[in-house]
C-alpha cells in the first residue's frame, strides 16, 4: 500500500506522527508525506524512515476560500502524480480540503484524523467568530462524507459531532487517546532528592504555541501572583509566536520577561531535555484540544500536571471518586489538578499546593508516568489506527472502538 500522509504543519510529522509514519513503513507501506513547509530537519527525518516529503502551498493559520484554490490545485496535482492507495490526513485544513480533493483525484481510501477541534469550535464571542465557525462546520460536514474512516481523539469531540449531525452514517469512527507519546523517547525522570525542590525553587513550565486560548496569559498572571509570595519559584514559557488571530503578542511576553515573572525559551526542539529540568507542567487551556501532545510528553517524563476541565485537557489528570476540591474550585487528582477555565486564582492555588507540599511533586510525577504507560503510550494509539486501516489484523475488541456513541448510526 502507498500511503500519503497530509498535514498543514510539517513539524508535526516528526513530533506528533513520527511513530505512526515509522509504523506505516514497518508494515510494508510506501510512504509519502506532504505539508506546507519544506524544513531540512523534516526532510532528513522522512528520508531516514525511507519515505519522501513533498511540500505544497498551504497557509495553515486560516481558511480563505478565495485564495485557497492554490492549495486545492497543489493537492490535486500531488494525488495525481503520486497515485496513492490511501490518504491519511490530519489537522483541520488538511482534512476539510484533502478529503474532497482526494475523492476528485480518485484516491481509493481516505482516512481523516481530527486531532482537536481548535479555536473555531469554542463558543464564539464575536460575529466574525460565529461566521468562521459556521463555515468551518459546513466544510467539516462536507469533507467527512468523503472519508472511509474517521479518527477522533476524545469522546467529547465525538459526542459534539454526533449532536451536530456532522458524522456521516455508516462511516466508522475510532477514538484514540490523543496522538500518544513515545515513552522511550520521553523517559521517566524521577524527582526524589531533587535539589531545586528541596530549596523551594520549584520550576513550572508551559509548552505551547503562544495562543491566548492555550492559557498563556492565565499562566503569566498566576505566575505573577505566586512570585510575589514565593520569589524562589520559577516559571518557564516554551513555544513560538504564532500568526493565529488568537495569538499572544511579542510585546506582552517581553513585558513578562522584563518584570521577572517568567523566562521565555522560544522554540525548543529537545523537549525531553528541557522537561528533565522542570518539576510541574502547566497548561491552563480552553482551546478545544484533542489531547494536548505537550501534556502527554510531560506525563511520560513524570511531571505533575496543572491543566483545566476543558475538552481533551481533562483527560490528562486522573481524578478519583471523592477527589478533593481546593477553595478556588481546582480539583485534585492523583497526578495533578484540573482547574476551571480562564481562572487565574485556581491555577495559582494549584501552583501554591506544590510549593507548600514539595513531597507531592515526586509523588504526582510518578502517577503521571503510570498514566502515560497505561493509557497514552503511542503503541496503543497507533495500533488502533493500523487495525482500522487493515495494516494489521483487527480484533473484536478493536472493532468496538468504531462505535463509541450509540447515536452515531443516525448522525
Residue whose C-alpha cell reads 448522525 in the numeric block: 411
What is residue 402's predicted lDDT score, i.e. its pLDDT?
A: 53
What is residue 394's predicted lDDT score, i.e. its pLDDT?
A: 67
In order of their start, the domains of the chain are 2-180+378-410 (3.40.50.2000), 195-375 (3.40.50.2000)
- Is residue 91 within 8 Å of residue 8, measured between CB atoms? yes
Give whole-number Cα distances, 199 to 234, 336, 364, in Å: 12, 21, 19
Cα torsion through 124, 126, 132, 135, rounded to 10: 80
Neighbours of 188 (CB within 10 A): 18
What is residue 134's predicted lDDT score, i.e. its pLDDT?
A: 81
What is residue 408's predicted lDDT score, i.e. its pLDDT?
A: 31
What is residue 119's predicted lDDT score, i.e. its pLDDT?
A: 58
Give whole-number Cα distances, 113 to 38, 88, 149, 307, in Å: 22, 8, 9, 24
Distance linking the first and last C-alpha atoms of the chain: 31
Q: Per residue of the chain (411 residues), what is the pLDDT tens digit? A: 999 999 998 989 998 899 999 999 999 999 999 999 889 999 999 999 999 999 999 876 566 666 889 999 999 999 999 999 999 999 888 999 999 999 999 999 999 999 877 656 666 667 876 777 787 788 888 999 999 999 998 898 898 889 888 899 999 999 998 899 999 999 999 999 999 999 989 999 999 999 999 999 999 999 999 999 999 999 999 999 888 788 999 999 999 999 999 999 999 989 999 999 999 999 999 987 789 999 999 999 999 999 999 988 999 999 988 889 999 999 999 999 999 999 999 999 999 999 999 999 999 999 999 999 999 999 999 999 999 999 988 664 444 445 443 333 322
In the sheet with 336-339, reading across from the earlier edge strand, the strands are 263-266, 234-238, 203-207, 280-283, 304-308, 336-339, 331-332
> Strand 2-6 and strand 86-90: pairing?
parallel
What is residue 320's predicted lDDT score, i.e. its pLDDT?
A: 85
- Is residue 307 within 8 Å of residue 284, measured between CB atoms? yes
Of residues 168, 108, 174, the one with CA closest to residue 144:
168
Amino acid at each position: 500500500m502507498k500511503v500519503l500522509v497530509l498535514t498543514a504543519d510539517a513539524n508535526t510529522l516528526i513530533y506528533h506522527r513520527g511513530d505512526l509514519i515509522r509504523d506505516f513503513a514497518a508494515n510494508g507501506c510506501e510512504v509519502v508525506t506532504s505539508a506546507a513547509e519544506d524544513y531540512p530537519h523534516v526532510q532528513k527525518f522522512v528520508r531516514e524512515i525511507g519515505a519522501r516529503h513533498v511540500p505544497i502551498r498551504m497557509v495553515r493559520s486560516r481558511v480563505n476560500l478565495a485564495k485557497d484554490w492554490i492549495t486545492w490545485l497543489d493537492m490535486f496535482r500531488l494525488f495525481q502524480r503520486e497515485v496513492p492507495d490511501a490518504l491519511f490526513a490530519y489537522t483541520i485544513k488538511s482534512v476539510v480540503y484533502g478529503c474532497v480533493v482526494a475523492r476528485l483525484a480518485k484516491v481509493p481510501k481516505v482516512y481523516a484524523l481530527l486531532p482537536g477541534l481548535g479555536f473555531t469550535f469554542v463558543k464564539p464571542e464575536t460575529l466574525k467568530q460565529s461566521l468562521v465557525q459556521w463555515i468551518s462546520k459546513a466544510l467539516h460536514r462536507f469533507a467527512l462524507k468523503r472519508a472511509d474512516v474517521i479518527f477522533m481523539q476524545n469522546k467529547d469531540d465525538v459526542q459534539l459531532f454526533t449532536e451536530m449531525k456532522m458524522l456521516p452514517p455508516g462511516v466508522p469512527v475510532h477514538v484514540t487517546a490523543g496522538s500518544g507519546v513515545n515513552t522511550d523517547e520521553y523517559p521517566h525522570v524521577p524527582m526524589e532528592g531533587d535539589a531545586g525542590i528541596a530549596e523551594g525553587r520549584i520550576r513550572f513550565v508551559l509548552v505551547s504555541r503562544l495562543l491566548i486560548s492555550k492559557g498563556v496569559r492565565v499562566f503569566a498572571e498566576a505566575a505573577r501572583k505566586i512570585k510575589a509570595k514565593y520569589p524562589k519559584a520559577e516559571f518557564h514559557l516554551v513555544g513560538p509566536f504564532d500568526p493565529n488571530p488568537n495569538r499572544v503578542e511579542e510585546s506582552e511576553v517581553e513585558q513578562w520577561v522584563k518584570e521577572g515573572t517568567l523566562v521565555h525559551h522560544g522554540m525548543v526542539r529537545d523537549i525531553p531535555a528541557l522537561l528533565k529540568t522542570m518539576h510541574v507542567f502547566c497548561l491552563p487551556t480552553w482551546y478545544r484540544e484533542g489531547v494536548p501532545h505537550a501534556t502527554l510528553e510531560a506525563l511520560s517524563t513524570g511531571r505533575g500536571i496543572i491543566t483545566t476541565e476543558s475538552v481533551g485537557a481533562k483527560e490528562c489528570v486522573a481524578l478519583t471518586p471523592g477527589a478533593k476540591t481546593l477553595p478556588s474550585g481546582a480539583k485534585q487528582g492523583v497526578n495533578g489538578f484540573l482547574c476551571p477555565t480562564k481562572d487565574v486564582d485556581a491555577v495559582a492555588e494549584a501552583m501554591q499546593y506544590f510549593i507548600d507540599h514539595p513531597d507531592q511533586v515526586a509523588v504526582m510525577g510518578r502517577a503521571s508516568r503510570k498514566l502515560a504507560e497505561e493509557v497514552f503510550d503511542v503503541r496503543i494509539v497507533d495500533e488502533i489506527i493500523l487495525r482500522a486501516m487493515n495494516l494489521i489484523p483487527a480484533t473484536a475488541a478493536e472493532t468496538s472502538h468504531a462505535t463509541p456513541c450509540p447515536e452515531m448510526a443516525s448522525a
